[in-house]
Amino acid sequence: MFNSVLLFGISGGEIVLVMILALLFFGSKAIPDIAKTLGKGMREFKKATNEIKREINDHSSGLKDDINDISTTIKKDTDQIKNGINDQLKD
């Protein structure tokens, strides 16, 4: 069913072609340095992404608590109003 394994929408043949072109353009000695630099960049990007996610979660947790408090207060007040109306109707 699948002719080749896809990685980010790139087939195996395309990956080989890119690797051959990289060898031709940069040479075999520069490839490890390029890979190391690319790895560092990806690591920094992932670190920054995780930091942003952590800050969003930290700030949104307080907001969630506030929303839960307001929701509880509203539910309590509506229950009191319902009970008051039911008591008035019983009399």
What pLDDT digit, counting tens, does each position of 43-61 carry? 999 999 999 999 888 877 7
**Residue 46 and residue 38 in contact, taking contact as beta carbons nearer than 8 Å:** no
Q: How confident is the model at residue 1 (pLDDT cuts 50, 70, 90)?
A: very low
For the chain, give the percent of residues with pLDDT over 70: 90
d(CA 12, CA 18): 10
Residue 44 in tokens: 């920094």
Q: How confident is the model at residue 66 (pLDDT cuts 50, 70, 90)?
A: confident
Crossing angle of the two packed helices 12-26 and 31-90, in degrees rounded to 10: 130
Q: What's the mean pLDDT in 23-41?
A: 87
Residue 52 in tokens: 């942003």
Q: Is the pTM of this model over 0.75?
A: no
